[in-house]
Amino acid sequence: MNPIPPMRRDHIEIFKRLTHENSAKVRCEIVVRAQNPYSMRYMGRNGYKPKPLNCKAKTYKPERDNETTAGLVVYPMHEKIVYASSEDFKDANNWWNKFFAEHIDQKKTEVAGRHELTNGFKIVYEGNTAGCVLFHGDYMYSDYDLMSVTRVKDALGHGVGDQEDAVQKLPPMHAKYGNAMIKEGKLVGKEGGIVDASNNLERIISRDFSDRTGIQMIQHGAQVNYAPRKSKEMCHAFVDNSYSIKCV
């Protein structure tokens, strides 16, 4: 298991405050998956933005730490892009193909003799940043994935991770489950279903963080929500204005 990358100190403080200062005024535990560590240097810089929710392509984890394009969204098949491992390349290429299928401009590609994209995306083919993908002229870096939000039951700490008072709706990526929800670690409910007792805390936390930073977190739908014993990802965890690392 790889060590967890660091998180920016100002973002740590924001997440800590959100555990009890979110707009729903609900005390909660927030678990966030770390971004690509190379992406941190681009946060807040002009000409760089978090990749939008319609960008499935991965950010670059290179063979050498001094790669100019490390931490940015790239086209995996570009000749300048060399991945640290075959597994990294395979994963990046699989996600790229999903992204590519949605955004390729077939007519421009035929004319240019190289891949051209739609919806504001563009591949850089020349220069020091060859291989990067731009979105409306800006380079894209990775942000955080929101893994889970769980209500904290009382001031004694009882109920952290307890689903009795926090029935959680599955994130949007699991729409195939309809309106089914999580209760006591199990998928429950039926089509047409159940009132969401968590007040959509995942969406509230994601929105509040975005309002304070300009960064949109993706709701990941991690195994921590539906198969906690099978997941083995190291994550950043925040509860009661405190910060820790945990495996979920």
pLDDT tens figures, 45-96: 899 998 887 888 999 999 888 789 999 999 999 999 999 999 999 999 999 9
For the entire predicted model, the pTM comes to: 0.72
> Which is nearest to 144 in space by CA: 26, 46, 7, 238?
7
Residue 181, pLDDT score: 46
Residue 3, pLDDT score: 61
Query: 9-34+144-247 has which CATH code?
Result: 3.30.70
CB atoms within 10 A of CB 21: 12
* φ, ψ at 185 (rounded to 5°): 80, 5
Q: Which of left, alpha, beta for 192 (phi over 0: left; psi -120 to 50: alpha)?
A: left
Domain boundaries, the chain: 9-34+144-247, 39-141
Residue ranges of the chain with per-residue pLDDT less than 50: 1, 154-199, 222-228
Q: Sheet holding 28-33: strands in order across?
A: 218-219, 145-151, 28-33, 234-239, 242-247
